[in-house]
Chains A and B, each alone.
Chain A
């Protein structure tokens, strides 16, 4: 009783002029419409309409880049709600952690999800890099995309590191103290670099605010820009490349 009425509701919805103004393609039963799904959708059009079947196999990529991107989506989706309860000031930042943990509904769950998502993203990016290396997928024409990938890995580490300070607990404070003292060892600019990064001579409220802005605005924007280039170039360079033995793309002379 329920199902047919739902079906007819769906049918009616698809017939309305509003729906048809948003989704322009018809049913997904023809290849033409399946192509339209991909290239008429802003979010799907990073895909080609057709892909090599072998690139879908698990052992082709182990889906490691995909795992990293899913983590990024989870991190944005959990990070933004966490921002509603967070003040980047001392000692309020730490009080907010306690509030998230004990008072806010599901606050601890969101924080856990953000934390473990961040770890998995770093881990996934590392493994993705190793996969690409051992499969020789950095080879021409994919050289530049490999370099973009290295940038993305460094950005991921910076993102994770700037986020590490935000809870303002002992772990955060001393992890960042030790890390920024390493920057001091860089020749010539080391001391200045640290001063700029921390906004002072020691890890203090200024440093917390700077790391917060870097973590929530600057680094994500840069990361998304590089990620856009990374994904766009995958397609421009002929799709994902798997183990080298099954992808010898040979140039053939056309028969005369």
Chain B
């Protein structure tokens, strides 16, 4: 390889004139080929018919909902009269419930911001790509200490703000993490739990917390954001 042949691009519309490219591949760097034993089917009709059916099912479901339930419409907006309680749409009620315990900056900006950032970086965090089941192949003592430590700090933190709606589910998820220990010879649920990795446990904790807070905010909060039972709330309104 002393002198490269002169580079001479050819401008032509004639494909025959365009020189063919030849690639040289070193024997130790052969391109890998993705092999799959999967069976392939034609997108039309197999996939497309399913999409059409999905469309129909969802539209029928929504139509029935729209025929049975009316969208809420209250009195005209009145800036001087705050309804009691004033509730956000359901997907923000978990956040509104947090606002009851934490300063607005924490509950309204910091926590949602952190959640979005945490979600966005999931695929770039090594642990999410490589983690194995929590109790498998790791030092059990170390894991026990870490889980118990983090869980008690979180429970104490939420408890310190008297936020039982977050403290209790946190403790419950930590309990479930310990239950999963050695669960590979238990029942179906226990086996499924034993397979969960640490990132999956964290996501589970987030989902449980968000669900509990949303349900409390939706059904268990009445005038002045006081705790009420859902049935008394119905009577109230």
**A interface residues with partner B (beta carbon < 8 Å):** 28, 31, 34-35, 37-38, 44, 47-54, 56, 63, 66-67, 70-71, 73-74, 90-91, 94, 97-98, 101, 108-109, 111-117, 119-120, 122, 126, 129-130, 133-134, 138-140, 142-144, 146-147, 150, 153-154, 157, 160-161, 164, 167-175, 177-179, 181-183, 185-187, 190, 202-203, 249-254, 256
Residues B41 and A109 in contact, CB atoms below 8 Å apart: no
Question: Which residues on the B side are within 8 Å of A251 (C-beta)?
Answer: 32-34
Contact partners of B39 in chain A: CB under 8 A: 52-54
Contact check: which of B34, B63, B70, B82 meets A108 at CB < 8 Å? B70
**Cβ–Cβ contact A169 & B91, under 8 A:** no
Residue among A63, A91, A202 with the highest chain B CB neighbour number at 10 A: A63
Are A47 and B47 in contact, CB atoms less than 8 angstroms apart?
yes
- The answer to whether A116 and B48 have CB atoms under 8 Å apart is no
Q: How many residues of B contact A (CB 8 A)?
A: 69
- In the complex, 8 of the A-B residue pairs with CB atoms within 8 angstroms, ordered by the A residue number, are A34-B42, A49-B42, A74-B59, A115-B66, A133-B122, A140-B129, A153-B119, A177-B86
Which residues of chain A are within 8 angstroms of B187 by Cβ–Cβ distance?
none
Q: Which residues of B contact A52 (CB under 8 A)?
A: 36, 38-41
Which B89-107 residues sit within 8 Å CB-CB of chain A? 89-92, 95-96, 99, 104-105
Least CB distance from B82 to A in Å reads 6
Inside 8 A of A117's CB, which chain B residues have their CB? 62
B122 pairs with A56, CB closer than 8 A:
no
A161 proximity list for chain B (CB < 8 A): 89, 92
Residues on B with beta carbons closer than 8 Å to the beta carbon of A91: 76
A134 touches B70 (CB 8 A): no
B65 & A116 in contact (Cβ 8 Å cutoff):
yes
Q: Measured between alpha carbons, how far is A183 from B104 in the docked complex, in Å?
A: 9
**Chain A residue at minimum C-beta to C-beta distance from B118:** A150
When each residue 94-138 of chain B gets 1 if its CB lies under 8 Å from chain A and 0 otherwise, what string results? 011001000011001100000010011011100011000000000
Q: Chain A's nearest CB lies how many Å from the CB of B205?
A: 13
Q: A residues within 8 A CB of B75?
A: 169-170
A111 CA to B74 CA, complexed, in Å: 14
Chain A binder among B49-57, B178-186, B227-235: B49-57
A140 touches B123 (CB 8 A): yes
Give 18 new A-B contacts, CB below 8 A, not counting A52-B40, A63-B50, A179-B92.
A34-B42, A47-B43, A53-B38, A70-B54, A70-B58, A70-B59, A73-B55, A97-B73, A130-B207, A144-B123, A170-B83, A171-B72, A171-B73, A172-B77, A182-B108, A187-B105, A251-B33, A252-B33
